[in-house]
Amino acid sequence: MAAIRVGLAPFDVAAELAALTGDRTDIGGIGTFIGIVRGTAHGRSLASMTLEHYPGMTERALVAIALAAERRWPLQACLIIHRVGRLLPGEPIVLVAAASAHRQAALDATAFLIDWLKTKAPFWKKETFLDGTEAWVDARETDEEALARWGATPTPA
Amino acid sequence: MKILYFAWLRERIGCGEETVALPADVTTVADLVSWLGSRSPGHASALAPASDGRRIVRCAVNQDFADPETRVTERDEVAFFPPVTGG
């Protein structure tokens, strides 16, 4: 059963992973991905990044993404935490984790979860630069290509 | 019908949400885009396709991704937004 959370609050990776494991002893490994706000974009220094989302659809999309991973790999647990609002360089944005009896499933499912999230979950990033200018981040074709390696249908274009 | 706009569409249109009474001849997402585009210059600019004709704006009907051919009714929640950039 996947745990999904979207909110403003920072997350504690160690506490989240401990909660994911709980008292279980059938988990052999946990794959994790942590996305972090970079301090530069297009060679310019970033003051902050603001994340907007579509409340309701976001949670539905993340549940669907987690279910797709659970159908594909034998997972004991998986977790997606995504922050929204204003974040500073160095702050974590997203935590994805997948637990399985063996490492390959855990690592592959983790990569799948973040690749799907990047193209199928309704979040949008706006960059605010140190000079005060702002710009919405453009979607990258490489994200669609990353999704395609899982044999998944890209978001309707 | 409840219509939601996100990210730069919301900024360009000047609101994040509006309720509209749907004309009888608007039955698909494509119809809705054409009709909304006539409401204001902001709508027209936000919902326009790219110069090469590619569709920039994405759409969800009742919180599921939708196509131009997806059918819509007065009771639906329809959202327009740019390609997503989370993660």
Look up the ipTM and state it.
0.94
| Residue/partner pairs of A132-135 with CB below 8 Å, 24 or more apart | A132/A47
Starting at the earlier edge strand, list the strands of the sheet with B2-5.
B17-19, B2-5, B77-81, B58-61, B64-66
Q: What pLDDT was estimated at residue A152?
A: 65
pLDDT at A143 over 90: no
Q: What pLDDT was estimated at residue A156?
A: 45
Q: CA-nearest residue of chain A to B83?
A: A139
Q: State whether residue B40 sits within 8 Å of chain A by CB.
A: no
Tally Cβ neighbours within 10 Å of residue A102. Answer: 12
Q: How far is CA A11 from CA A8, A16, A127, B38, B45, in A?
A: 9, 8, 21, 44, 39
- Chain B interface test: which of A54, A82, A138, A147 (most B C-beta within 10 Å): A54
What's the rounded Cα separation, in Å, for the pair B3 and B78? 5
Distance from CA of B67 to the nearest CA of A (A): 7
B79 to chain A: which residues are within 8 Å by CB?
Answer: 54, 57, 122
Instruction: Please report, as a single letter, which amino acid is at residue A81.
Output: I
Once rounded to an integer, what is the mean pLDDT over residues A97-111? 98
Place of tokens 């279910």: A67
Q: Quick check: A137 and B87 CB within 8 A?
A: no
How does pLDDT run across B3-33, given as a tens digit for each residue? 999 999 999 999 999 999 999 999 999 999 9
Q: Is B64 helix (H, G, I), strand (E, B) or coil?
A: strand
Cβ atoms of B9 and B81 closer than 8 Å: yes
Q: State whether residue B17 sits within 8 Å of chain A by CB.
A: no
pLDDT at B82 over 60: yes
Give the pLDDT band of residue A157 (cuts 50, 70, 90). very low
pLDDT at A115 over 90: yes
Chain A residues 22-41 within an 8 A CB cutoff of chain B: 35
Q: State whether residue B53 sits within 8 Å of chain A by CB.
A: no
Going B38 to B41 to B43 to B46, the CA torsion angle's sign is: positive
| Residue in A79, A83, A52, A50 with CA at minimum distance from that of residue A65 | A79
- Helices and strands: H and E segment counts in chain A: 4, 9
Q: State whether residue A155 sits within 8 Å of chain B by CB.
A: yes
Q: Quick check: A157 and B54 CB within 8 A?
A: yes
Q: Quick check: B84 and A156 CB within 8 A?
A: no
Q: pLDDT: is A61 or A147 the higher one?
A: A61
Q: What pLDDT was estimated at residue A26?
A: 96
Give the pLDDT band of residue A140 (cuts 50, 70, 90). confident
Half-sphere exposure of A9 (CA within 13 A, CB side): 6
Beta bridge partners of A3: A79
Length of chain A: 157
- Chain B interface test: which of A124, A127, A153 (most B C-beta within 10 Å): A124
What's the rounded Cα separation, in Å, for the pair A67 and A71? 6
Average pLDDT, chain B: 95
Q: Which token pair is A21?
A: 């494991």
How does pLDDT run across A43-69, given as a tens digit for each residue? 999 999 999 999 999 999 999 999 999
